[in-house]
Amino acid sequence: MNEHMISLAAYESELEAEIARGHLESAGIDAIVSKDDAGGMLPSLHEAEGVRVLVWSEDVRRARVVLREKSITGQPS
């Protein structure tokens, strides 16, 4: 099986991304939040790409449905 993580959506803040991740996790979908802030030294660095939520490739369709139902879809990434 060729599983890998895919960036599902990007959010303006870490809080929004964590809320999305929480909804996915409660639906049984593994998800992680990814951001580039230089190890916390440059918190605004993630503004260029946003804070991304990643899921396993096999869960992408189901994850999109969950986020759409919760109205927290973010920006496609």
The reported pLDDT for the residue numbered 66 is 94
Q: What is the Cα–Cα distance from 74 to 11, expressed in whole angstroms? A: 5
Q: Which of the pair, 73 or 58, is modelled with greater confidence? A: 58
Alpha-carbon distance of 54 to 60, in angstroms, equals 9
Of 62, 49, 67, residue with least CA distance to 10? 49
Give per-residue pLDDT as tens, 30-55. 999 998 766 666 666 666 678 899 99
Question: What are 17's two structure tokens?
Answer: 């991304």
| pLDDT of 27 | 96
* Structural domains in the chain plus CATH codes: 5-76 (3.30.70.1530)
What local confidence, expressed as pLDDT, does residue 62 receive?
96
Specify the residue for token string 């996915």. Answer: 24
